[in-house]
């Protein structure tokens, strides 16, 4: 019976995507094992290590869908690994040619290379999800380039920004993650074929030729030296997933805070009944944001697990390898769930520019006190200007008036800045700095090319 959120009939699509689940389903894992064994036979026939007719028979006869999975499980429980039992069954399927199966290989060669094939497919799904999020964020940044809102530091009003600027900051991270995926692919999408202790001794002087032919059959890169106990590639992969979901969690956190009743500046897409409460009919909870945050924490923990798995002993590890069997599928599943929720969130995000402006005006112009200070400093010097504007701010807070009203009553201000200039300085629209130009610069950057896997 399904026992985790990743395979639960209730929660599996909240914490993962069906396409990603299909990549890591146990039937798919077995199919990848078979794919590698068949490719190995083809590579060895090409080099002349086994007869060509045997490799042809193996390609015709080896069928993953004919594997008795219950029998394979029983032998896996006995041996501790699935490849011995798999080869037993494949050998029976292939008849006389079965004697050439798994020639010169070790269990970890097959399992590692199969995992790389899964990772290749999984990274393509992550890339597609990031590309969709990028497109949605480009649209938001462009549409809201001039939608003024309060920028916040330490959860307090700081200076005016635009919502387009906020979306562009999010966008910059997504673009960089797509670049990271392209950069890690040559390091990670490399197969493994090294034999019992990594030296391919059983194949004599044909070992490297078989190795290279196998990678050619599978369309994988060729490592210069085996990585049986050098697990940095997989650890890097899951660490990048941690970065991806960390960014999605940052976006989700911002949206959750903007969804608060007291803020109400942006909302998850409206779907009747979504985010409702069993007892409070008025509720509209940030469900996608919450799921993204949960997924990000799952991935982060698995990234730590992968770093633990790097401490492998000698030429074949006694335990850390098995940690990857848990961490890699869970990390990819949670990442796919986070990306699905993020795409839904960003493509349908509801933005309320009027509420943003009302919130911006809550402090009666105090949010642009810096603008007044800098303008006044041209006449009085910075420190004197700071003290003058600070006094006006305190008066506005104490009396519940506006910054403009207090400034207009101060001769030490009005002797330098007239009414029109003060009105201009205390309008947040006029204090956006380089934010619009920054948005344009980012939007002008070319979208990263698709990941080549």
Q: How far apart are CA 9 and CA 3, in angstroms?
A: 9
Please tell me whether residue 153 adopts helix, strand or coil conformation.
strand
What's residue 273's pLDDT? 65
Q: Is the pLDDT of residue 391 over 90?
A: yes
What DSSP element (H or E) covers 350? strand 350-351
For the 106-192+227-361+443-453 domain, the top CATH level (class) is mainly alpha
Find the helix packing angle between 83-94 and 107-143, rounded to 10°: 110
pLDDT of 429 reads 93
Q: On the CB side of 192, how many CA atoms lie within 13 Å of its CA?
A: 26
From 8, 102, 144, 154, the catalytic residue: 154
Residue 446 clears pLDDT 90, i.e. is over it: no
Catalytic option among 202, 277, 434, 447: 277
CA distance 167 to 146: 12
Reported pTM: 0.92
Pick the CATH number of 366-425 from 3.40.50.2000, 1.10.10.60, 3.90.870.10, 1.10.40.30: 1.10.40.30
pLDDT band at 51 (very low <50, low <70, confident <90, very high): very high
Minimal CA–CA distance to 322: which of 120, 85, 122, 76? 76
Computed over every residue of the chain, the mean pLDDT equals 94
- pLDDT at site 9: 84
Q: How confident is the model at residue 131 (pLDDT cuts 50, 70, 90)?
A: very high
Residue in the block written with tokens 């200039």? 421
> What DSSP character marks residue 450?
P
How many DSSP H helices and E strands does the chain contain? Answer: 19, 4
Whole-number Å distance between alpha carbons of 164 and 148: 9
Please report the pLDDT score of residue 3 as a whole number: 78
Evaluate if residue 99 carries a pLDDT over 70: yes
Is 277 an annotated catalytic residue? yes
Q: Which residue has the tokens 């990390």?
A: 331
Q: What is the pLDDT of residue 7?
A: 84
279's tokens: 């007892």
Enumerate long-range contacts of 80-86, CB under 8 Å, 24 or more apart.
Answer: 81/107, 81/111, 82/30, 82/33, 82/111, 83/33, 83/107, 83/110, 83/111, 86/30, 86/33, 86/34, 86/37
Give tens-digit pLDDT for 137-176: 999 999 999 999 999 999 999 999 999 999 999 999 999 9
Q: Is it the case that residue 54 has pLDDT exceeding 70?
A: yes
In the chain, % of residues over pLDDT 90: 90
Does CATH number 1.10.275.10 belong to domain 20-103?
A: yes
DSSP tag of 158: E
Query: Model confidence over 346-374: pLDDT tens digits?
Result: 999 999 999 999 999 999 999 999 999 99
Residue 402 has pLDDT above 80, yes or no: yes
- Quick: pLDDT tens for 172-210: 999 999 999 999 999 999 999 999 999 999 999 999 999
- Tens-place pLDDT, residues 271-301: 776 665 556 556 678 999 999 999 999 999 9
Q: Is the pLDDT of residue 432 over 60?
A: yes
Domain ranges of the chain: 20-103, 106-192+227-361+443-453, 366-425
pLDDT value, residue 259: 96
Question: Are 103 and 312 within 8 A, CB to CB?
Answer: no
pLDDT of residue 437: 94
Q: What is the pLDDT of residue 275?
A: 60
379 included as an active-site residue = no
Q: What are phi and psi of 314, to 5 degrees?
A: 50, -135
């Amino acid at each position: 019976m399904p026992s985790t959120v990743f395979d639960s009939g209730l929660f599996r699509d909240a914490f993962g995507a069906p396409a990603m689940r299909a990549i890591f389903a146990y039937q798919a894992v077995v199919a990848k094992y078979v794919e590698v064994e068949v490719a190995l036979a083809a590579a060895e026939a090409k080099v002349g290590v086994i007869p060509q007719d045997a490799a042809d028979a193996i390609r015709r006869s080896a069928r993953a869908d004919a594997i008795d999975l219950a029998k394979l499980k029983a032998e896996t429980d006995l041996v501790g690994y699935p490849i011995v039992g798999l080869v037993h069954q494949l050998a029976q399927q292939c008849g006389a040619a079965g004697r050439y199966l798994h020639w010169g290989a070790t269990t970890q060669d097959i399992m590692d290379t199969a995992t790389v094939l899964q990772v290749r497919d999984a990274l393509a799904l992550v890339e597609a999800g990031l590309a969709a999020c990028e497109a949605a964020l480009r649209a938001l940044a462009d549409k809201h380039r001039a939608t003024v809102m309060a920028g916040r530091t330490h959860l307090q009003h700081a200076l005016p920004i635009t919502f387009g600027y906020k979306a562009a900051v999010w966008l910059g991270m997504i673009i960089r993650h797509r670049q990271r995926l392209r950069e890690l692919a040559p390091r990670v999408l490399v197969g493994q074929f090294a034999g019992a202790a990594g030296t391919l001794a059983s194949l004599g002087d044909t070992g490297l030729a078989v190795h290279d032919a196998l990678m050619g059959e599978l369309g994988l890169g060729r490592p210069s030296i085996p990585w049986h106990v050098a697990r940095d590639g997989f650890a890097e992969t899951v660490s990048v997933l941690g970065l991806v979901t960390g960014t999605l969690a940052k976006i989700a956190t911002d949206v959750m805070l903007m969804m608060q009743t007291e803020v109400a500046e942006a909302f998850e897409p409206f779907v009747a009944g979504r985010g409702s409460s069993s007892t409070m009919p008025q509720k509209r909870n940030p469900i996608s944001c919450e799921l993204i945050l949960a997924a990000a924490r799952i991935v982060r923990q698995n990234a730590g697990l992968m770093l633990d798995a790097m401490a492998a002993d000698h030429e074949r590890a006694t335990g850390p390898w098995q940690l990857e069997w848990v961490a890699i599928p869970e990390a990819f599943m949670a990442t796919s769930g986070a990306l699905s929720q993020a795409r839904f969130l960003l493509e349908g995000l509801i933005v309320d520019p009027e509420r943003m402006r009302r919130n911006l005006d809550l402090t009666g112009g105090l949010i642009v006190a810096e603008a007044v200070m800098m303008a006044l400093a041209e006449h009085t010097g910075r420190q004197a200007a700071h003290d003058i504007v600070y006094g006006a701010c305190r008066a506005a807070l104490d009396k519940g008036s506006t910054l403009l009203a207090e400034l207009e009553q101060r001769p030490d201000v009005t002797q330098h800045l007239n009414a029109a200039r003060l009105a201009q300085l205390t309008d947040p629209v006029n204090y956006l700095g380089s934010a619009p130009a920054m948005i344009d610069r980012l939007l002008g950057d070319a979208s990263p090319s698709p990941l080549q896997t």
